[in-house]
Amino acid sequence: MATPTIVHSPLDMVFSNVYYKLDSFLVDNAVFLKLEGLNPAGSIKIKPAIEMLTDLERRGVITPGKNHVIESSSGNLGIALSIACKIKGYRFTCVTDVNINKLAKRYIELYGGKVIVINKRDENGGFLNSRIEHIKSLLAEHPPYVWLNQYASPSNKLAHYKRTAAEIFAAFSRVDYLFVGAGTTGTLMGCGEYVKRHAPATKLIAVDAVGSVTFGLPPKKRHIPGLGTSRRPELLEPSLVDDLVVISEPDTIAMCHEILAVEGLLVGGSTGTVLAGVRSYTGKIGRGKTVVAISPDFGDRYIETIYDRAWLNENFPSVQDDVPVSARSFRYDSLTTV
């Protein structure tokens, strides 16, 4: 009789060792997709949520019942923090923007969080600077508020150094290429520091979205939350990255639909972007390599966007009604070396 795993909190249900093997995704190579959508918050963001809160508690910066936690998020971290704050005894406010999907907003509210939606674009055409400015104004007005600041918090990347990267290299004796999406760059930098210290033979490939300014490329309006920023994160250290792939949103959408059609796996926008990055990099990988890509979340929160025909027609009219998105040819806009 198997021994059951018994937990006493959603924060104890973080999965660490589940991979989906994409056998035919690349010619001559298997791709192992690290599935983080099985976590209680539905994404990889539960790890930094726990780590950032625990670090502030350890240092006496926040105390349950006393402080009000505030953070900027496009959805996933907001959900993770709403769960973690509810369990730990903190009030929580998520400052987001109009790109947040209805389901993510509802999740945050169900767990007791307050959601503030910003609709003013910043100077780079995104919303991040506007969200942060609003947080700063709230901090000045309400002393009990504490901003985690995922874009600069060492605990953000530490969570992925201690957990995400360590899990990958415990699961595989050799990883030739590790593909990681760039959002706040917490996952990317945590993995980068781990690779530099423990696995220098591994090539770390960052995947970003067209229109993101993270790596100094021109800003452009974006519709899909998750990867990409309109403000360079303080955590970013480009020297830890071996190469950069930049993916357009139509190609992200195409990849999401391809994985659904071929694998029966409903993946999120960030995962679609990362896998499009892997596909575009095929010519540089060679044969017989071990390729690992991180899947931050599943596609349930994108039902009304990436997987909705009306939304696609409104925002991406080049995707024709009579052609399945998965049948579109890939046309990667740029491939940039860091």
Structure confidence by residue, pLDDT tens digits, 84-117: 999 999 999 999 999 888 889 999 999 999 999 9
Residue at a domain's end among 147, 180, 210: 147
81 with 191, same domain: the answer is no
Side-by-side strand order, sheet with 68-72: 114-118, 91-97, 68-72, 145-147
Residue 154 in any domain: the answer is: no
Q: For residue 161, give the nearest of 180, 145, 140 by alpha carbon.
A: 180
Model pLDDT for residues 27-78, shown as the tens digit of each residue:
889 899 999 999 989 999 999 999 999 999 999 999 999 999 999 998 999 9
pLDDT at 230: 87
Cα angle: 241, vertex 29, 272; to 5 degrees: 60
Residue 40 in any domain: the answer is: no
Buried b (16+ CB within 10 A) or exposed e, 208-229: bbbbbbbbebebbebbbbbbbb
* Entry pTM: 0.91
197 with 318, same domain: the answer is yes
pLDDT at 176: 97
Which helix or strand (DSSP H or E) is residue 171 part of?
helix 166-171
How many structural domains are present in the chain? Answer: 2
Choice between 239 and 128, residue whose per-residue pLDDT is larger? 239
245 with 318, same domain: the answer is yes
Tell me the average pLDDT across 234-259: 95
Q: Which domain range does residue 82 map to?
A: 46-147
pLDDT at 13: 86
Output the DSSP codes for 83-117.
HHHHHHT-EEEEEEETTS-HHHHHHHHHTT-EEEE
30 with 178, same domain: the answer is yes
Residue 1 in any domain: the answer is: no
Residue at a domain's end among 101, 122, 147: 147
Asked if residue 204 lies in contact with residue 169, where contact means CB atoms within 8 angstroms, the answer is no
Tell me the average pLDDT across 289-298: 96
End-to-end CA distance of the chain: 52
